[in-house]
Structure 1
């Protein structure tokens, strides 16, 4: 699979103008009214989930909770693709899970990679220098000294081993992971905000050309006090 090559979205200097598509009129069929049935866990949570843009620092135990509930490896299975398939809390096309989570803790120089099998963080030497401009871009997008930065990095070759034209599957995997993280963060009482940037062109520089590509960035922290 060729490396995914999409630039980070940016806000236009001047607003564009677009007329939404007008759907043809047809018979309307009303669905049954949804009754409130009390606290139903995830259902109640989704009614009240909101993106939050003010953060306090997460401690190590809080970060552990988020990563464990979103991205840990729950089971593995052998495959013919050169790597094991995995079961994790979040869905992935073909059980491939090509998305790596890189973590940048407040005040740290280097980033760390989440090891989903051992449930721990592995420091990435020299990543602080390689991703310094990404940190600056994050700060310009949403300034926060206390937030932990999460960078989603796709190893596209894994998906390409099973699927031709599988690039869209990687983007769907990244979106599913961001969505689950947002819901779990809210359930844990954390502040969580996906940013409108991919992490490129810097994320791809931490590995040989064509191996890794940034597919999303988010900030997480405790609620602002």
Structure 2
């Protein structure tokens, strides 16, 4: 008979094998296009809106230089909010809108299923919490409880203790994907990965450090009104490289 501790390890191993076997049998259905239906955009709790001024162009660097130089940077210092907004604008602002499209499909640097771009970036900076409204080229200060902001920042810094910059959360509005696709969820997750990569390259373009975090931001969504329409899909740290 196996010693007690060895028997426990063996049982843990069997449970792990069973778990992965069951997970492998879990089927994720393919998304299927639907006829574009009516939808209602999420109404963000905005305190004040500031129109964005002229966009500061990034330094003149080749794409190959940016592509090869990009690294996840874990030691980060505070960066001016103007620099952070420059990065977000480069990554998020639409370059082209599809004429007469009820779902407002657009072309932007990041890949997005159906060109829907349903993910908003929330910026947690020293002065408050902001959402870049890419459609309107405006910066929206959100009405968020101080304890929610403090708890989120504390959680981010537990994940990345050497980061003293700003933190961002990626929050998807389900409304348009849900009326454009059946089984849309996997598409939103793919969009999240594509957007994180685009943000990382945009940060490198402006000489800022960037590091994705292994957390989602569910606490942020839970604190917002009508939270069921939203989905937390990622987070990252951004700032001056240490």
TM-score with structure 2 setting the length: 0.69
CA distance in 2, matches of 1:84, 1:215: 21
Q: How many aligned positions are there?
A: 183
The answer to whether residue 122 in structure 2 is matched with residue 79 in structure 1 is no
Q: 1:208 to 1:125 in 2, by over 3 A?
A: same
CA distance in 1, matches of 2:113, 2:219: 25
**Runs of 4+, deviation exceeding 4 Å:** none
The answer to whether residue 69 in structure 2 is matched with residue 48 in structure 1 is yes
Aligned to 2:117: 97
Q: Give unpaired runs (5+ residues) of structure 2.
A: 1-15, 18-60
Q: Give unpaired runs (5+ residues) of structure 1.
A: 1-16, 19-39
Structure 1 segment 23-172 matched on structure 2, within 5 A? 41-77=62-98, 78-80=100-102, 83-106=103-126, 108=127, 110-143=128-161, 146-172=164-190
Give, in angstroms, the shift of residue 66 of structure 1. Answer: 0.3
The answer to whether residue 232 in structure 2 is matched with residue 217 in structure 1 is no
Structure ID, larger Rg: 2
Aligned to 2:21: none
Answer whether contact 1:91 1:173 (CA < 8 A) is retained. Answer: yes
**After the TM superposition, which of the residue ranges 193-202 and 122-131 deviates more from structure 2?**
122-131
Aligned to 1:23: none
Higher strand share: 2
Answer whether contact 2:213 2:237 (CA < 8 A) is retained. Answer: yes
Aligned to 1:174: 192
Higher helix share: 2
RMSD between aligned residues: 2.2
Give, in angstroms, the shift of residue 126 of structure 1. Answer: 2.6
**After the TM superposition, which of the residue ranges 92-101 and 55-64 deviates more from structure 2?**
55-64
Show CA shifts across 1:11-60 (max 9, x none).
xxxxxx99xxxxxxxxxxxxxxxxxxxxx922233223211111122113
TM-score with structure 1 setting the length: 0.74
CA distance in 1, matches of 2:227, 2:179: 17
Answer whether contact 1:204 1:214 (CA < 8 A) is retained. Answer: no
